[in-house]
Amino acid sequence: MTVALDTNILCYALDPAYPEHETAVSLLTNLSVENMISINPTVLHETYHVLVFYSEWLPTEATKKLTMILRNPYVKFLSQTKKTSTVALNLAAKYELGGRDALILACNVSNHISTFLTHDKKLLELQKIFWRNSQVSIRDPT
């Protein structure tokens, strides 16, 4: 099974300074062929931004950790294409989402990733989003 991670969950998993770290870190330490995660460019770069500019990590430290994640064979990296952007615009209008949240969710629904993990209260209120023949359940793992 593959679950998608939002920026906040990836930050929690990487940074022990967060109280949610103990719960979220297992998402990275228990990766296997049966237990995969997905991220996309938006999540990757938002995570870098939070770690460096909010959590005050050294840029080289954040780069090293995120590169390790990208190289992990049990991490799917979802592309953002014109099609994904079109889906995102439609999701933004349909669910009253901001552009980044819509783009992150569009990557997942377009790739048939059925579970999205986030700590974002507005997204959690949706519980599920639907696009054509796909749906994504939105859960908080913390």
Asked if 75 and 14 count as a contact pair (C-beta separation under 8 A), the reply is no
Q: What is the pLDDT of residue 22?
A: 96
47-56, pLDDT tens digit by residue?
999 999 999 9
Q: Which residues pair with 35 in a beta bridge?
A: 32
27-50, pLDDT tens digit by residue?
999 999 999 999 999 999 999 999
pLDDT class of 13 with cuts at 50, 70, 90: very high
**Could you give the strand order of the β-sheet that contains 2-5, starting from the edge strand earlier in sequence?**
75-77, 36-39, 2-5, 115-117, 134-139, 128-131
Distance, CA of 140 to CA of 131 (rounded, Å): 21
Asked if 131 and 90 count as a contact pair (C-beta separation under 8 A), the reply is yes
Asked if 62 and 15 count as a contact pair (C-beta separation under 8 A), the reply is no
64-73, pLDDT tens digit by residue?
999 999 999 9
57-98, pLDDT tens digit by residue?
999 999 999 999 999 999 999 999 999 999 999 999 999 999
